[in-house]
Amino acid sequence: MPIVSKVTRAQIVARGLTNRCPNCGARTLFKEGTLFQVNKECPACGMPIERGTDEGFYLGSLSLNYGVTLVCFLLPIALLAYHGVMATRTAVIVALAGAVIVPALLYRPSRSWWLMNYYFFLPGHLPANGGKANASTEPL
């Protein structure tokens, strides 16, 4: 039987901020060679990553992505336009372009951040911490 070490909350945060598997720390959240395809499970440790579309588990990552885009990108542009630092037409063009580009750039981090938040508050659900191996049967 392999020795299983407990994953601490600090490790969960560090792994979440660097797009790593929250269970083993491998860079395996996304399929190799793709930008937007998430692995169904971690190839290194077997922990389920994709929890299924029925549950709506990743709606939280969508909300995170939207919130970060709004607060960190669109709000500053609106403030610059309001205070006359940037022309209104320029602000609208930059905001429209950014409203498409920024969420695409934040797709990977937002998925990782959402897993990080989930396991930060429920570290016992990680297989390394004695949680169930099948995440789809875990209660939310």
- 61-65 contacts: CB < 8 A, separation 24 or more? 61/110, 61/111, 61/113, 61/114, 62/110, 64/110, 64/113, 64/114, 65/103, 65/106, 65/107, 65/110
What the block records as the tokens of 18 is: 């660097």
Residue 3 located in a structural domain: no
Q: Which amino acid is at 78?
A: A
Q: What's the number of domains the chain is made of?
A: 1
**Quick check: 69 and 106 in contact, CB under 8 A?**
yes
Residue 15 located in a structural domain: yes
The whole domain housing 21 covers 9-137
Residue 39 located in a structural domain: yes
Of 7-11, 45-49, 55-59, 117-121, give the lowest mean pLDDT range. 55-59
Residue 56 located in a structural domain: yes
pLDDT tens for 82-137 read: 999 999 999 999 999 999 999 999 999 999 999 999 999 999 999 998 887 544 44
**Helix (H/G/I), strand (E/B), else coil: 37:** coil
Residue 1 located in a structural domain: no
pLDDT at 50: 81
pLDDT at 5: 61
Residue 60 located in a structural domain: yes
Residue 2 located in a structural domain: no
Residue 133 located in a structural domain: yes
